[in-house]
Amino acid sequence: MYIGIGIGVAVILVAVVLMLRSRKGMVGGPVMLSHLKCPKCNVEFDYAYLPGASFTSLRLGGSRFLQCPDCHKWSVFNLIGTRVDPKTHHCEKRIGPS
Ligand SMILES: [Zn+2]
């Protein structure tokens, strides 16, 4: 009886792990893009991000604390007022999870 419960728990654990794995591979939803300018070195770059997810930065409301791809200094960037269309906008420098 106890063995049966143990197997049941193990099967559920495996199912959860597989679910989480497949979800991780499905990242590629609606990507947002912001055109940002570093206040330290004035370099311009694009920042791609997924709304609601933040793996590479701290979230500060509509702003994020990001590292400049050029001078590697950290600054607060406003993502709301700098949003551009990822389909038509393309900069040479681009950072972000995708
Ligand atoms: Zn910079």
Name the percent of the chain lying above pLDDT 70: 78
> Which SS3 state, helix, strand or coil, does residue 32 take?
strand
Mean pLDDT of 56-81: 84
> Which SS3 state, helix, strand or coil, does residue 20 take?
helix
Report how far ligand 1's centroid is from the alpha carbon of 27 (Å).
Answer: 28
Cα separations (Å) of 48 from 18, 21, 89? 27, 23, 11
Could you say which DSSP state residue 80 is in?
A: S
Please give the Cα distance from 78 to 17 (Å, whole number). 36
User: Which pLDDT does position 36 carry in this prediction?
Assistant: 97
Mean pLDDT of 11-22: 73
Higher pLDDT, residue 52 or 46 = 46
Report how far ligand 1's centroid is from the alpha carbon of 68 (Å).
Answer: 5
Report how far ligand 1's centroid is from the alpha carbon of 41 (Å).
Answer: 4
- Number of other CB atoms surrounding residue 33 within 10 Å: 23
User: Which pLDDT does position 24 carry in this prediction?
Assistant: 52
- Provide the pLDDT confidence category of residue 25 given band limits of 50, 70 and 90: very low
Mean pLDDT of the chain: 81
